[in-house]
């Protein structure tokens, strides 16, 4: 039944979605005046446009504090669970994900929030689970980020297991786990049709990928280029099949600079991602994501700096509509089942760009 309700399971061979419109700046770490303003009105207009033009999904970023710099990149953001509920109530067909940090939301609260949204959405809800990496956010919540990935994902697994149990139990239940001790727990109502929403994870570590192979329908991975992405997809899917007898679809993330000509697109990219990059925010973002100078050759750091300013380090699609469409076809040919898109100004470019693509 879920297959019929949720566009993540439609017949399209390659799924397209928008990433991070709930955050100020979106994915572009730039000072240009046309950079994305993540107001509710802008998000609602964008969601209804994406619904109308036939995109499959919207994916937010759960962000609690920004990256500083001149623009305080992603400092302002709409909370993802309430954002998803609001957008699903005002759209018809598109799937909208919420992103949850396992450490910041009690699993029983989350179970009920997600089940409620799923009823608002008539089964169009999706869930992205983040098991933690951002130290300053943990400190903000007065929590210690576990240094070991094994601990982060063990906690995440138990968190998800409590939610699954709450969604499958007709009776109340006690839970005696490593992290949660629950008495007479329950979640009523349960998700639509007692089926679970589509689940994704975006961990790039071994533990993150194992978590996805064990639990998720989709793994999101950042790719360097489609060719290296092909090997990644094959390795991930082979692992999920061999270890868990599960078919895991792999998605990636991109940012788009589309103009009538390639030269115009490259000129605009240079303008916003080099001349007007919010350098201080780019440095902070790269540092937090472990891009310490000593880990990479300088020219690679410099190239990555532009890609971080341009689109938070994800894969760039820069050119005229044909070039961008060809690149998307290349990503599909490499074995990816879908990708997210991001724009400096989503509304202006989605309205114009996607109708062309
Ligand atoms: C598509 C995508 C979406 C993500 N969304 C979020 C998010 O909303 N909030 C967050 O804190 N991290 C987010 N991340 C980071 C990952 O969830 C993950 O925590 C990070 O890659 C570190 O995982 P690892 O330590 O297992 O490698 C995202 C990453 C990707 C590629």
C-alpha 292, offset from chain centre: 23
**Pairing relationship of beta strands 173-176 and 181-185 according to DSSP bridges:** antiparallel
Number of the ligand 1 atom closest to the C-alpha atom of 130 = 17
For ligand 1, which residues put their CB under 6 angstroms from it?
Answer: 61-62, 99, 128, 130, 133-134, 149, 202-205, 207-208, 220, 222, 253
Coil, strand or helix at 74: coil
- How far apart are alpha carbons 355 and 357 in whole angstroms? 6
C-beta separation of 339 from 16 below 8 A: yes
**What is the enclosing helix (H) or strand (E) of 134?**
none
Instruction: Tell whether the model's pLDDT for residue 298 goes beyond 80.
Output: no
Entry field: residues in the chain = 357
User: Which atom of ligand 1 lies closest to the CA of 153?
Assistant: 26
Q: Identify which of 65, 130, 212, 214 to mutate to test ligand 1's pocket (most ligand atoms within 8 A of the CB).
A: 130
| Residue 14 CB neighbour total at 10 angstroms | 15
Q: What b/e string do you get for 124-162 counting C-beta neighbours within 10 Å, with b at 16 or more?
A: bbbbbbbbbbbeebbeeeeeebbeebebbbbbbbbbbeb
189-220 in b/e form (b: 16+ CB < 10 A) is: ebbbeebbbbbbbbbeeebbbbbbbbbbbbbb
CATH class as words, domain 2-352: alpha beta
CA 208 to chain centre: 14
| CA-nearest residue, atom 22 of ligand 1 | 203
Residue 337 sits at φ, ψ, to 5 deg, of -95, -5
Q: Tell me 190's DSSP state.
A: P
On the CB side of 219, how many CA atoms lie within 13 Å of its CA?
A: 31
Please give the Cα distance from 34 to 189 (Å, whole number): 43
Contact predicate 166/108, CB 8 Å: yes
Position 341 scores a pLDDT of 98
Mean pLDDT of 173-192: 97
Q: Tokens 């959405």 — which residue?
A: 121
What pLDDT is recorded for position 2? 81
Q: What pLDDT, in 10s, does the model give residues 248-266?
A: 999 999 999 999 999 999 9
Percent of the chain residues past pLDDT 70, beyond the cut? 95
Confidence band (pLDDT; 50, 70, 90) for 288? confident
Q: Which of 295, 294, 314, 318 is nearest to 304 (CA)?
A: 314
- Rounded CA separation 115/98 (Å): 12
Q: Any residues with CB less than 8 A from the CB of 40 and at least 6 apart, and which? A: 78, 86
**Ligand 1 atom 3: residue of nearest CA:** 202
Distance 130 CA to ligand 1 centre (A): 6
- Per-residue pLDDT at 197 exceeds 70: yes
* Band of pLDDT at residue 357, cut at 50, 70 and 90: very low
Ligand 1 mutation pick, 202, 208, 232, 252, max ligand atoms within 8 A of CB: 202
Please state the pTM of the whole predicted model.
Answer: 0.95
Q: CA distances (Å), 294 to each of 3, 147, 285, 303, in order?
A: 47, 21, 16, 15
Helix then strand then coil, in percent of the chain rounded to 5, is 50, 15, 35
Digit-coded pLDDT (tens) for 87-143: 999 999 999 999 999 999 999 999 999 999 999 999 999 999 999 999 999 999 999
CA of residue 189 to ligand 1 center, whole Å: 29
Which atom of ligand 1 is nearest to 222's Cα?
A: 31
**Looking at 30-172, which runs of residues are DSSP E strands?**
57-59, 95-101, 125-130
pLDDT in tens, 299-351: 777 778 999 999 999 999 999 999 999 999 999 999 999 999 999 999 976 66
Angstrom distance (rounded) from CA 251 to CA 253: 7
Query: How confident is the model at residue 293, as a pLDDT?
Result: 46
- Answer whether residue 291 shows pLDDT above 70: no
**How does the average pLDDT of the chain come out, rounded?**
94
Of 19, 133, 155, best ligand 1 pocket probe by most atoms within 8 Å of the beta carbon: 133
Rounded distance from Cα 213 to ligand 1 centre (Å): 16
Residue 336 and residue 354: Cα distance in Å, rounded? 20
CA distance 17 to 117: 19
């Amino acid at each position: 039944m879920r297959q019929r309700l949720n566009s993540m399971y439609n017949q399209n061979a390659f799924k397209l979605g928008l990433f991070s419109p709930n955050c100020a700046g979106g994915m572009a770490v730039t000072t240009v005046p046309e950079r994305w303003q993540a107001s509710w009105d802008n998000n609602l207009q964008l969601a209804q446009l994406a619904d109308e033009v036939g995109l499959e999904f919207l994916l937010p970023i759960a962000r609690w504090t920004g990256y500083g710099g001149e623009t305080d990149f992603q400092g302002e953001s709409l909370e993802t669970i309430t954002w998803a509920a609001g957008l699903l109530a005002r759209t018809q067909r598109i799937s909208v994900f919420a992103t949850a940090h396992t450490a910041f939301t009690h699993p029983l609260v989350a179970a009920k929030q997600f089940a409620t949204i799923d009823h608002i959405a008539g089964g169009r809800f999706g869930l992205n689970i983040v098991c933690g990496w951002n130290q300053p956010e943990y400190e903000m919540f007065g929590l210690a980020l576990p240094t070991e990935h094994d601990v982060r994902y063990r906690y995440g697994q138990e968190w998800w297991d409590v939610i699954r149990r709450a969604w499958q139990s007709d009776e109340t239940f006690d839970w005696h786990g490593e992290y949660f001790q629950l008495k007479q727990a329950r979640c009523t109502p349960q998700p639509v049709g007692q089926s679970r929403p589509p689940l994704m994870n975006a961990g790039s570590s071994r533990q993150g990928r194992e978590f996805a192979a064990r639990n998720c329908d989709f793994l999101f991975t950042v790719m360097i280029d489609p060719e290296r992405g092909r090997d990644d997809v094959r390795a991930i899917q082979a692992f999920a099949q061999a270890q868990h007898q599960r078919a895991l679809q792999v998605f990636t993330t991109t940012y788009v600079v589309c103009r009538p000509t390639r030269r115009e697109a490259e000129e605009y990219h240079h303008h916003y991602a080099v001349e007007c990059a919010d350098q201080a925010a780019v440095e902070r973002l790269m540092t937090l994501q472990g891009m310490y100078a000593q880990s990479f050759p300088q020219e690679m750091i410099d190239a990555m700096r532009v890609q971080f300013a341009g689109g938070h380090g994800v894969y760039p699609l820069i050119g005229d509509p044909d070039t961008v469409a060809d690149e998307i076809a290349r990503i599909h040919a490499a074995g990816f089942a879908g990708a997210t898109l991001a724009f400096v100004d989503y509304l202006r470019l989605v309205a114009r760009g996607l109708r062309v693509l």
